[in-house]
Structure 1
Amino acid sequence: MSSLRRSDEQRERSPCLGVRAGDMRVLGGDRRVALDVLMMGWGLGTWLGVNGVFVQLPLLVQRLPEGWALPSFMVVCIQLANVGVLAYAALRRLFPRAPDAPYVYGMLGVGTAALFLNAFLHERTAWVAGAERSVAFLAVTFFTGLVGCTSSVLFYPYLRHFRDVYLATYLVGEGLSGLLPGLLSLAQGSGGEPRCVYAPDNASVTAVPPEPRFDSTVFLAVVGCLSALSLASFALLNSLPTFAAERVRPADAAKQDEATGEPLLRARWVGVMAMMAALNACMNGLLPSIQSYSCMPYGAQTYHLAVTLGAMANPLACLAGVWLRPVRGRALAALLGAALLPLGYVLATALLSPAPPLQHSAGGRALVVLAWVALYAALSYARMWVYGWARRGGAAGMRVCGAVNQAGSALGSLTLFLIVNFTDVFVQAPQCALPPL
């Protein structure tokens, strides 16, 4: 009997998503489906703006002056948005008893406004330090990034006010912030390869990208509407009294703030947080910065598919965490070990740009897309596993996890920005070549 009780306790402490194994069997059962829907709607707004502009990159790198280096500028602007995390931490110290809900409203409002502004301002450029720069696009992207960066330390702790089972559907909603812009981008189309227009004397050439089914203004405006939907979802789940039974009692929520299941300085905690930093340095710094160099040599459509399907892999990984039995630590380590293969391949294609292997074959195009999708799926699942494991540390553990998330992302983004823009490690090919004289 004692061994049976120990087995039950181990299942109760499943690290994946931080919920009990019995709660993960089905989305129905002992839960409110309407609240599940609102949780997904709220989670949709977390990284919606960031994912929205990233899936537009196959179009934007052909239109904005930074070219293939544009993603490296974007990830730095997004990481600079971590100033929002510092501002929130300062406000928490000044007003420790203030509720989190007003901060959530403010962040979602800023993200919605930023998306609508970007829809109409993204092509405005200005000369900075002797070079034409996408000042408006990058500035508004900074405000878009405020939501995603701050959500790591603001939105997750707010979830402690609801029963554990709703963390899973919130994470599915967060994954939808990549899926829905991805589907919209597939409907939009990449526009295909640029057309080369030569001057009458062949002294100059201009690359003219073809038009997609609808332009970036329409795309970003639709994503802005989705962000407004996220704001409305949070307003409903936060204010409707019908969900009072699904909330954790204030006394229990306070206990989560004051006590943790495990001391945060234990070796296991430090190790898992180090893995979280590495995952986010890779996902939010390294990979976005090099994807244009890895994929554009295979064509704009290949880049479009790699970006879009990679963004869609994230919610599928979250759904796997909802429907499947959580994996053990050794299985996760095996998964990450297997992910080194596609990671090595995409690094090789980026480093060998503008002439990567199998450049002019259909197999080469398919292989690079599959590598990017598999890599994002594996890393997304691993990051979700860490978030679920961190929940056992209560609100303090979730805040530490969020802070480590942003620290790893910032380090990876800054490192790649310097490498991409101040070395010759990654090389952009000209879209059109002048004919020989």
Structure 2
Amino acid sequence: MPRCSECGKKVSNGYCKPCNSAHWWDNLQNWTSGNANIDGLIWDSQLNADERWKTLEWIEYSNLKNIEYIAEGGFGIIYKAVWIDGPIKEERIRKRRYFSWSRYKNMVSCWNTEKSEWNRHSNWTVAIKKCRKATSASLEFLDEMKNNSNLNLNDYVNRIYGVTRDPLTNEYAIVTAFQNGGSLRKVISENHNKLSWKKIILMLSDISRGLAEIHSRGYCHKDFHSGNILNSIYGNIYPMIGDFGLSRPMNESVTDKVYGVIPFVAPEVLSGKKYSKAADIYGLGMIMYEIISVEPPFVERDYDQDLALVICKGERPLIPEYAPEYYIDLMTKCWDPIPANRSTADELWNQFNDWGNMNLDGLQNMGFTYERESRWKKRLTAVKESPRPIKKSHNSFASKHLDYSDYISHNNSLYLKETNNIT
């Protein structure tokens, strides 16, 4: 284990909590977000973090450059920018004046003692999520900040760096890691000629592991769809779970409103029941469907209350005949109408991990054959070259408020009466 270059104590991940907390403390009076609640969240993260990626920062808007529009979601607008200072990094110390090199062979530091400043990745590309009308720190904005901070966990969850504020609009914005591959939907479209059974299995292993980490902390994502799976591409594809605007602890609920993209929202949630971890699993099942079918579920239909109703009655998207049987079994278990019958995130991660560790012959024996893969790749190419027109109701697959529970309840009652009359 490396040692802190300042105090010489052993540290994990190159971050010495006592030394670095002292540096954060010394800087508390040098900045403010203009909002006491936001300041408090940032202070808490800085003074209590035991790893550098758990810290949040106030990032002056003037410290961001080359800001460009990327996309608009259900709850805000996403921009790409360059953070001039950049996030904190650890550096290996090759030479120290005060310690014997033979005794401290592996020394690291996030703090530059000679310059009295943090070591940083300067000119770092980031994403900025501007929340609509966030001119004051609303409960929803503070929740998203808090949840993002608590879920700055590992390589499978998109990291949040801090908060900024646009001086022209006075709107607060969240600064996060930028993933160069974009959403899962974009990755499938633009990398159609590079994908394979093995690659999608490894991607699903990472996604399910990230979800398992979220669930292990007692959280639900609550808006789990392919648009919120962000990907970095450096040779391989590395997916990360992002956008925790609706995430919160299982025992905490500030709103009864349902939000999401209809095909990815579990039927019990559409019907007005409480969100659960099993509802996230339903969303993951639909993500599996989008990967294997190359198009979003129910892409041929309007995303409206009538679709929500038939989903609640048990309708699911048509599965391509080339899909491997084991894949189908796992996917359909995720979208079982009874939440208790669905797999857990840990179970999915273990299964995808087992498949990912198999050699090609092993995968062939599991039904992931070359012939099936060839047919899947042909469909990938066909959809890329001749994409289906997107319906207006899909709204670029942005999450929106879904107030269908009364409509579903009324029509389900009529359906049950008709069924009883027939029998």
TM-score normalised by L of structure 2:
0.24
Q: Name the larger-Rg structure.
A: 2
Higher helix residue share? 1
Using CA pairs below 8 Å that are at least 6 residues apart, which structure has the higher relative contact order? 1
Higher strand share: 2
